[in-house]
Amino acid sequence: MKICITSQGDNLESLVDPRFGRCRYFVIVDTDTGGVEAMDNMNRDGMGGVGIRSGQMMAEKGIKAVLTGNVGPNAYQTLSAAGIEVVTGVSGTVKEVIEKYKSGGYKTSPGPSVDSHFGTQGNSPV
Q: Which residues bind another protein (CB under 8 A)?
A: 45-50, 52-53, 55-56, 59-60, 62, 74, 77-78, 81-83, 114-124, 126
Closest separation in Å from C-beta 55 to another protein: 7
The answer to whether residues 20 and 120 touch, using CB atoms and an 8 Å cutoff, is: no
Tell how far CA 69 is from the center of its chain. 8
**Spatial separation of the C-alpha atoms in residues 121 and 98, rounded to whole Å:** 27
Complex with another protein: residue 100 or 116, whichever CB lies closer = 116
Complex with another protein: residue 48 or 105, whichever CB lies closer = 48
Closest separation in Å from C-beta 116 to another protein: 7
